[in-house]
Amino acid sequence: MAPKRLLLLFLRLIILTVPIITVKGQDDFTLAEATIEGLQRAFDENKLTSLQLVDFYLHRIENLNPLLRCILEINPDARVQAEGADRERRSNRHRRRSFMHGIPVLLKDSIDTNDEMNTTAGSYALLGSVAGRDAGVVEKLRKAGAVILGKASLTEWYSFRAFPIIPNGWCARGGQAQNPYVAGGDTCGSSSGSAISVAANMVSVSLGSETHGSIICPADYNSVVGFKPTVGLTSRAGVIPVLPKQDTIGPMARTVADAVHLLDAIVGFDPRDSEATSEAARFIPDGGYRQFLNEYGIMGKRLGVIRRPFFDTMNRSIVSAFENHLDLLRARGATIIDDLEIPNIDIISDPTASGELMLMQAEFKSSLNQYLKELRISSVRSLADIIEFNQMNPELEKLEEYGQHMFIESEKTNGIGEKERKAAEYLEKLSLDGFEKVMKEQKLDALVAPGISLAMTVLAIGGYPAISVPAGYQSNGMPFGICFGGLKGSEPKLIEMAYAFEQATRLRKPPFSQSFDLTSHFHFETA
Ligand SMILES: *[C@@H]1O[C@H](CO)[C@@H](O)[C@H](O)[C@H]1NC(C)=O
Ligand SMILES: *[C@@H]1O[C@H](CO)[C@@H](O)[C@H](O)[C@H]1NC(C)=O
């Protein structure tokens, strides 16, 4: 590409990212926007301790959370854990357990911890329940030396209580979480708190979970990196389930490298989720995923683009930014195979037609009941108990306003019978004859798409991995991302492309200047 065109391209990219709020004044917090590698360097050079870092975030949370409402609980042990990480680093024997040593992490409030914190999916029904053990991913995080900072808000029950009536980012315990870029803007869900807290520099990184777009979509809408691993690459044990065939736990971060360091700490076999994790463990490369942070990672890749039916309904500014991004990918050595079609895409995009919704309703009841049965202490032991709790506490749970129609439908189901087995087989066939066939026939390394179209459709039903990277802002300040998705186990390629794209564009901006007075931008009540 001629240098002049490249320059124009970059100018257009830059114009897309003009900060929404321009503020004069100094940036007081150099810790904001710090990366994990930067923090580890500061630890090594004795310029920073984990305890100082935790205190920095606690201060930010105290100031910002009343406005953004993205965090439900602070871990009372966080400072003690940070001191422990500092002490261990000072001792000669183990200087650093991993890249996550001493790094604060927030967990979506559906991930069990064996400590003072509650795990509630945002609902009062589970407040006071005790799991009695860490989720599989939390065990791994603690071994890696991470500090568990707290629990992030989410769309209550992953919005499965009453989709689509429950607003994205709302839960009874936390109220309405706010998009940090646009007052009143959609936060998407369900891992909304995990995305917002990272975007607003209230933590280093966080964990979200995804069944159908729940990591990729809030990452997209809050301008962070969302990483949805292949189902089974990360253990789901001790995480409130929706549909085990599709549930996966993954990182949300400000940079691809941060997401990858977190991923490296949580992947692997877990005897409590043995079938899925042993099958996916064969995908984990020797030396982990860090080696794929390759700034030339776009070179030689074959990327497919599916336009129909998504582009027609997509915002024009997002589509035109995407065309520029395709140019950039080509300029960096990718081959773009444009305008591919996925057979049966209309069925795949419609959870009722594909049977996905029906399967979810049956599996949600049986897997949730199993989860509730295993809690050490709880006053609710079944979906029926939760429905009853909501009926007894209509004001707490805003029952009149939002209802619980999906819970009631789910409660009517009766395990996995013939109908459900057929639906599961049909979904598998849609993936094999659709996405997998196109990937193989066209010899693609990945699909690339603007926004969330891929994540909510072909990638969701097959348990395939995806990474969303910030890709610009609309004229009203609303962020959007670009999504790379591939076959099971294709994380190395996705990381290469996502990292190379990010390094070439660096489009993410923090949502507001650190010295900016948020209250003058957001006009919602803080009561
Ligand atoms: C967990 O919930 C109980 C209420 O049942 C509350 O007293 C406690 O403070 C909560 N834990 C944390 C860490 O906020
Ligand atoms: C498209 O962008 C405009 C302005 O940036 C915004 O008001 C509108 O809500 C967007 N529409 C969609 C579907 O995202």
What are the structural domain ranges in the chain? Answer: 27-526
The Cβ-side half-sphere exposure at 336, using a 13 Å CA radius, reads 19
Q: Which residue's C-alpha comes closest to atom 13 of ligand 2?
A: 315
Tell how far the Cα of 377 is from the centroid of ligand 1, in angstroms.
14
Which ligand is located closest to the Cα atom of residue 475? 2
- Cα–Cα separations (whole angstroms), residue 270 to 140, 363, 392: 10, 21, 38
Q: Which residue's C-alpha comes closest to atom 3 of ligand 1?
A: 128
Name the residue of 315, 318, 320 whose CB sits within 8 Å of the most ligand 2 atoms, as the mutation to test its pocket: 315
- Indicate if ligand 2 lies below 6 Å from the C-beta of 476: yes
- Cα–Cα separations (whole angstroms), residue 498 to 96, 257, 268, 289: 27, 10, 22, 13
CA-73 nearest atom, ligand 1: 14
What are 462's two structure tokens?
């097959």
**69: CB partners within 8 A, 6+ apart:** 153, 169, 174, 175, 176, 177, 178, 193
Tell how far the Cα of 504 is from the centroid of ligand 1, in angstroms.
45
Q: What is the sign of the dihedral through the CA atoms of 163, 164, 168 and 174? A: negative
Q: Which residue's C-alpha comes closest to atom 8 of ligand 2?
A: 315
Name the residue of 314, 476, 480 whose CB sits within 8 Å of the most ligand 2 atoms, as the mutation to test its pocket: 476
Determine the Cα–Cα distance for residues 427 and 363; give it in Å rounded to an integer.
14
Q: Which residue's C-alpha comes closest to atom 6 of ligand 1?
A: 128
CA-316 nearest atom, ligand 2: 1
Residues flanking ligand 1, CB < 6 Å: 73, 76, 116-118, 127-128
Tell how far the Cα of 119 is from the centroid of ligand 1, in angstroms.
10
Q: Which residue's C-alpha comes closest to atom 7 of ligand 1?
A: 128
The gap from C-alpha 102 to its chain's centroid, in whole angstroms, comes to 21
Whole-structure pTM value:
0.92
Which ligand is located closest to the Cα atom of residue 378? 1
Of 43, 173, 175, nearest in space to 100 by CA: 43
Are the beta carbons of 447 and 485 closer than 8 angstroms? Answer: yes
Determine the Cα–Cα distance for residues 424 and 418; give it in Å rounded to an integer.
10
**63: CB partners within 8 A, 6+ apart:** none
Tell how far the Cα of 198 is from the centroid of ligand 2, in angstroms.
24
CA-313 nearest atom, ligand 2: 13
Tell how far the Cα of 315 is from the centroid of ligand 2, in angstroms.
6
CA-127 nearest atom, ligand 1: 5
What DSSP character marks residue 138? Answer: H
Determine the Cα–Cα distance for residues 379 and 214; give it in Å rounded to an integer.
28
Tell how far the Cα of 12 is from the centroid of ligand 2, in angstroms.
19
What are 25's two structure tokens?
């004044």
- Indicate if ligand 2 lies below 6 Å from the C-beta of 475: yes
Q: Which residue's C-alpha comes closest to atom 1 of ligand 2?
A: 315
- Indicate if ligand 2 lies below 6 Å from the C-beta of 344: no
Q: Which residue's C-alpha comes closest to atom 6 of ligand 2?
A: 476
Q: Is 469 left (phi over 0), alpha (psi -120 to 50) or beta?
A: beta
Tell how far the Cα of 435 is from the centroid of ligand 1, in angstroms.
45
Domain 27-526 annotated CATH 3.90.1300.10: yes
Tens place of pLDDT for every residue, the chain, 527 residues? Answer: 344 444 334 433 333 333 322 223 333 337 989 999 999 999 999 999 999 999 999 999 999 999 999 999 999 999 999 999 999 999 866 578 899 999 999 999 999 999 999 999 999 999 999 999 999 999 999 999 999 999 999 999 999 999 999 999 999 999 999 999 999 999 999 999 999 999 999 999 999 999 999 999 999 999 999 999 999 999 999 999 999 999 999 999 999 999 999 999 999 999 999 999 999 999 999 999 999 999 999 999 999 999 999 999 999 999 999 999 999 999 999 999 999 999 999 999 999 999 999 999 999 999 999 999 999 999 999 999 999 999 999 999 999 999 999 999 999 999 889 999 999 999 999 999 999 999 999 999 999 999 998 888 899 999 999 999 999 999 999 999 999 999 999 999 999 999 999 999 999 999 975 444 454 444 433 32
List active site positions: 108, 190, 214
**286: CB partners within 8 A, 6+ apart:** none
